[in-house]
Structure 1
Amino acid sequence: MLHSLTSNDERFQSVHFGPGLNILVAERTDISTDTDSRNGSGKSSVIELIHFLFGAQGGNKSLWANESLGRHVFTLELDWPGLREVLTVTRAAGRPNRISVYPDVTRRAPQSLFEQAAEISPKEWQWLIERDLYGSSAENAEISGRTLMSFTVRRVGSGGFLEPTRTFAQQSPHDAMVNLCHLFGLDVGLAARYRLLSNQESTRKKLVEAAKDPVWGKIVGRSAELRGEIGAVEQRLTELERQIADFQVVPEYENIRREADRIDQQIRALRASEAIERRNLQDLERAMEDVAEPDDRYMEAAYKQLNMILGREVRRRFDEVRAFHQTVVRNREKQLSEEVARLRELLSERGRRRQELGERQAVLLRTLNSGGALDALTSLQFALAREQAHLESLRHRFQAAQALEASRRDIDAQRLELEQEMIVDLEDRDAATREANALFNRYARRLYGDGKNPYLAFSPTKQRMRIEPKIEDDGSRGIHNMVIFCFDLTASVIAHRSGRGPDFLIHDSHLYDGVDERQVARALQLAAEVSEAEGMQYIVTMNSDDLQKAISVGFVADPYIIEPHLTDQPYGGLFGFRF
């Protein structure tokens, strides 16, 4: 059972729950104007916060995503299976990815003297809800803790009151039915197989549509066309294999090819060396042009202009320097000439060698081109490898096409088999379905008398398992909502009795919209009696005028009204402020 819903914000009006029937009332105050509305008092926010604390993810439009609640930390206290003390669940609106539970019910570590809270992710928290509140025996089971909680605490914002067997508008009927089968004690595995077959059928239809597309159709194709194409490719492969088997390769061709490659490398090396040596030759020839004896005649003219006469000793020294320089120049010129001659001879030799190699290479290439045996064999082998790869691809596509075309027959056969298995299973679980049917019948007749014949229909079909609550009605919204009330009450009692569900059920005030005051009074009285008899808790939010209508026909509400009394005033709502 739930004990309290609180916040770290002092403006928040803490909600305290008790056993049995709990009515959270939103009142219209004496100072309210015609424009005041109890839609902002926080009735539905209580439902949303309970879901938030039970691990709901939500999104940008979720209540707890509002920036006004960014610093709020919400806490839910409740009984927990296997605990003697109360479990405290805490989650911050600004840090929704971590949930604190105290004491640690993860059972990942032995209990210590100083018990600490466990910080877990919403996914881990969902598994704990499945394991402890809904009695799931294995992690990664077919059921979903969030889906089951949505049947226990329906939300109007997600379309929870549109159908008895769905909790939101886009919910897959197979997902809903898997979880309902768990609550009613039916074979969840069989219901999950319906879901699996439905997913396979959906995939098959998409592939069939894709196969009709001119581009995507090439990925799979049709088996009849692929069979013909495979035959044609196999014929080409047979011919290629025969040609290769009959082909004779002369060993000399390989030797000739190797020699031709070797000569080509030598020619390339010679050309590279020639380029370097020609560059060196050009540098040497330019150096020879720059070689010249020094001219010292300018010196005598310069001395004459200065009216100076060169002495004999000075003239002798100049003659010696002149002779030395002439010797150096002649030696330099001789060396350059010899190196130029050597390079020209080397280039000439390389040219002759390159010409000889070129002639030999031409002979070899003519021999290879005239024979062509190696090229022909290589081409045949390449064509064979290409056709083999194409054949393998076609065979894979053929298998996929056959599987796709046979999948419909296979799925239909599995559905017929599954339908029969479900029929046999329901016969074996006759006591469970009878119990659920009897409870639903009793609850509905408490609301509408013995003039109607309400029942629960458990119907295995070829497409899916169906659980359908039936009450003869005129199509009114009020009766539709009371069908949901009786259905939820039946599922909660059945699940709680067998340890497959929690001991609480919560309904928003929207469930009672359009319901006759007599049925409202009877529903509340029934919820009070059933919750007391079963040791359960029924929590409902209501507008004061709707509750007053039930009181006017005899319902005694005072023992069941809980604190706080929400109002339509700015500071009278659940959060203590408007945002």
Structure 2
Amino acid sequence: MQLISLKSNQTSFRPVLFKNKVGLNIIVAEQNIEEADYKKNSFNGVGKSLLMAIIQFCLGSSKKDSFKNNLSGWEFILDFEINGNRYESCRSADKQNIIRLNGENLKLSNFNQKLGELLFDIPENTSSLSFRALFPFFYRPRRGSFLDFKNPNTLKVDYQILLANSFLLGLDIFLVKEKQELKAEKDRIKDLLGQLNSDPVLKDFFLGERDSELATQDLAERISGLESDLLSFTIAEDYYDIKKDADELKRSISKLQNEIFLLENQISNIQSSLETTPDISKEKIIKIYEESSVNFSSELKKSLEDLNNFYSQIAKNRIKRLSGQKQEIIREVEQKKELLKKSHKQFDEKLQYLNVHQALDVFVQLTNKLSALKAEKEQIENYQKLLKEYHSTKLTIDKKFLEATANTEIYLNDVKDFVKGISDFFRALAKSFYPNSVAGLSLSNNENENSIRFNFDAKIESDSSDGISNVKIFCYDLTILLLGQNHSMSSIFHDSRLLDGIDPRQIATLFKIANEYITANNKQYIITMNQNHIDELRVQLSDNEFDTIVSPNICHIIGDDKPENKLLGIQVDMKYEA
């Protein structure tokens, strides 16, 4: 990809023409010294970073609310070339979900997929690799992109960082993926075991306080017994009617038993009364008086005899009455006993019926209990299966880890010359800046139990400049552009942030290297810079070098003296990220 121009549908916008498809294109933020003190005035806000944001916007970056809120009605048009073919992408600040590519409206996802196919040879089933994930290595989009040479997307996942760099360097990404997948599988099994530890049913097994095999056998026996009971279970439709009758019979039997008890007590009391005779005969009375020397007249004796006869009659009547009552109660007891016998028989029949024919809710309860036991048994069996799977998988993964580590060692030995070539190129670039520093790319096998296949780094061992990190970024990006693999990118774009902190002498070296390598390899280098950097280059470069490398390659100037000289041609304050 090489940029040609950036335009807008708004007349205030100052079109940016990238006049060199091959070579340097310098966008300068010019400062009006007459308007403010040179040392105090800032180059911020003129449009350098906004330029990058708009280019990223035209190349499928995420939606930007700041564009919609502040630039309603604006459209931006980017002309570029890929492998000799011309393309034009147009995107509206209002309808950001559509990008028009060569007149065809594409959804954002489809546009990015198409650009990915045009610019990168991304294998199938590598979701972490995409156009938007790889493009920032060539067009670093934001402030955080200049903090780490290998992480322009400011990702937090080391695996994704390594995968993208391995892909662009031409290393075997399947070795990288393999280790990450092995680690992910091992973590998955560990997570499952962690869930077992928190499960209230399985926790005791996990801690070794219960034996899962014995528990399974016990549950199997209980399940078998319940299943047998349910097979012989007979549900009675009239269960509750019969149960109601049985309960009534039980109450009736209890009442009869109490009544019989009371009646038999009455019989016993009558019998006691019959056996008791408190009456005294006439003869006994006369004898008592005679023994007391008392004589009775014939008239008195006559009266005693009548009285005796009277009491005798009363006693007979009493006996007759009690005997009659006794017989009546005996007959009543017999009747109630007969009724009790019948009631017992009926009660036994109903109990026998209820024992054979049971209630639906009892059946449901038994069924629910059976289901619960089966679920518990299944859970324990799954636990046993999981433990076996874990131990088996762990052994398999441990074995694959060792095999992958060995294979990686062989692979690194096979590609050592290829890697050395890339490292030597990076080192040569770095030594152009810091001749006495040890520099190069380091690549080794990561044998630890993690998801990272390669230990990878770019090094420039020197403490002579605060801008070493940014020099490293420049050298690495140029290395990827010229010696990298799996891409069709022909340009890199650096924001002026790259130059922050770099010594003016190293800035001069950077432009010499860029001019030499970019032009010789038919590539394009775009950079935004501030006026003070231009002034420093005038000092560090010879007149001929400045007139060859810098002056003819300035393709756009952004002024800070008035809004119409800024990128948009208007004054707009908004927050955005490229």
Q: TM-score scaled by structure 1? A: 0.70
Counterpart contact for 1:260–1:365, Cα < 8 Å? no
1:458 aligns with 2:443: yes
Counterpart contact for 1:223–1:402, Cα < 8 Å? no
AA in 1 matched with 2:475: C
AA in 1 matched with 2:462: D
| 1:228 alignment partner, one of 204, 207, 211 | 211
Deviations 1:179-203 (A, max 9, x none): 1111111112222234334544665
- Compared CA separation, residues 244 and 37, structure 1 to 2 (3 A): closer
1:469 aligns with 2:461: no
Counterpart contact for 2:29–2:46, Cα < 8 Å? yes
AA in 2 matched with 1:7: S
1:505 aligns with 2:523: no
AA in 2 matched with 1:20: G
1:154-303 equivalences under 5 Å are 154-157=140-143, 159-200=144-185, 214=198, 223=206, 225=208, 228-241=211-224, 254=234, 257=236
Aligned counterpart, 1:5: 6
Counterpart contact for 1:164–1:483, Cα < 8 Å? yes
Aligned counterpart, 1:534: 521
AA in 2 matched with 1:166: N
How many residues are paired up? 458
Most deviating of 482-491 and 73-82: 73-82
Most deviating of 544-553 and 504-513: 544-553
The 1-side partners of 2:231 and 2:54 are apart by 85
3-state DSSP of counterpart to 1:39 = coil
Deviations 1:88-108 (A, max 9, x none): 011111111111111xxxxxx
Counterpart contact for 2:52–2:495, Cα < 8 Å? yes
| 2:508 alignment partner, one of 521, 525, 539 | 521
3-state DSSP of counterpart to 2:147 = coil
The 2-side partners of 1:471 and 1:59 are apart by 37
| Greater C-alpha radius of gyration | 2
1:41 aligns with 2:24: no
3-state DSSP of counterpart to 1:477 = coil
The 1-side partners of 2:90 and 2:473 are apart by 31
Most deviating of 484-493 and 433-442: 433-442
Aligned counterpart, 2:101: 101
Structure 1: gaps spanning 5 or more residues: 103-116, 265-359
| Residue 233 of structure 1: how far off its partner (Å) | 3.9
| 2:433 alignment partner, one of 438, 444, 447 | 447
Counterpart contact for 2:12–2:568, Cα < 8 Å? yes
- Compared CA separation, residues 409 and 552, structure 1 to 2 (3 A): farther
1:134 aligns with 2:120: yes
Structure 2: gaps spanning 5 or more residues: 244-344, 573-578
1:275-424 equivalences under 5 Å are 365-371=350-356, 383-400=369-386, 403=389, 411-424=397-410
Aligned counterpart, 1:490: 479
Aligned counterpart, 1:433: 419
Counterpart contact for 2:122–2:130, Cα < 8 Å? no
3-state DSSP of counterpart to 2:473 = helix
Aligned counterpart, 1:21: 24
| Residue 217 of structure 1: how far off its partner (Å) | 6.7
Deviations 1:11-55 (A, max 9, x none): 111111112111111011133324642110111111111211111
- Compared CA separation, residues 506 and 473, structure 1 to 2 (3 A): same
The 1-side partners of 2:115 and 2:134 are apart by 9
3-state DSSP of counterpart to 1:99 = strand
| Residue 224 of structure 1: how far off its partner (Å) | 5.3
Aligned counterpart, 1:73: 75
| Residue 237 of structure 1: how far off its partner (Å) | 2.4
The 1-side partners of 2:375 and 2:470 are apart by 64
| Residue 521 of structure 1: how far off its partner (Å) | 0.5
Aligned counterpart, 1:323: none
- Compared CA separation, residues 245 and 59, structure 1 to 2 (3 A): same
AA in 2 matched with 1:501: S
| Residue 413 of structure 1: how far off its partner (Å) | 4.3
The 1-side partners of 2:351 and 2:116 are apart by 83
Aligned counterpart, 1:352: none
The 1-side partners of 2:202 and 2:15 are apart by 61
Aligned counterpart, 1:287: none
Deviations 1:121-175 (A, max 9, x none): 2211222222111233548655221111111111333x11111111143432211
AA in 2 matched with 1:516: D
Counterpart contact for 1:91–1:98, Cα < 8 Å? yes
- Compared CA separation, residues 145 and 370, structure 1 to 2 (3 A): closer
3-state DSSP of counterpart to 2:457 = strand
3-state DSSP of counterpart to 1:38 = coil
3-state DSSP of counterpart to 1:160 = helix
Counterpart contact for 1:220–1:401, Cα < 8 Å? no
Counterpart contact for 2:28–2:531, Cα < 8 Å? yes
3-state DSSP of counterpart to 2:489 = coil
Deviations 1:194-251 (A, max 9, x none): 4334544665666566566x5x6768886454972452242142255258659995xx
The 2-side partners of 1:8 and 1:526 are apart by 37
Most deviating of 382-391 and 479-488: 382-391
Q: TM-score scaled by structure 2? A: 0.70
Counterpart contact for 1:56–1:146, Cα < 8 Å? yes
AA in 2 matched with 1:560: N
Counterpart contact for 1:75–1:90, Cα < 8 Å? yes
Counterpart contact for 2:204–2:210, Cα < 8 Å? no
1:54 aligns with 2:59: yes
What is the aligned-residue RMSD (CA, Å)? 3.6
Q: Percent identity?
A: 24
The 1-side partners of 2:13 and 2:30 are apart by 17
- Compared CA separation, residues 427 and 566, structure 1 to 2 (3 A): farther
The 2-side partners of 1:227 and 1:545 are apart by 77
| Residue 533 of structure 1: how far off its partner (Å) | 1.1
The 2-side partners of 1:27 and 1:525 are apart by 22
AA in 1 matched with 2:136: S
| Residue 373 of structure 1: how far off its partner (Å) | 7.7
| Residue 567 of structure 1: how far off its partner (Å) | 3.1
Aligned counterpart, 2:564: 571
3-state DSSP of counterpart to 1:562 = strand
3-state DSSP of counterpart to 1:79 = strand
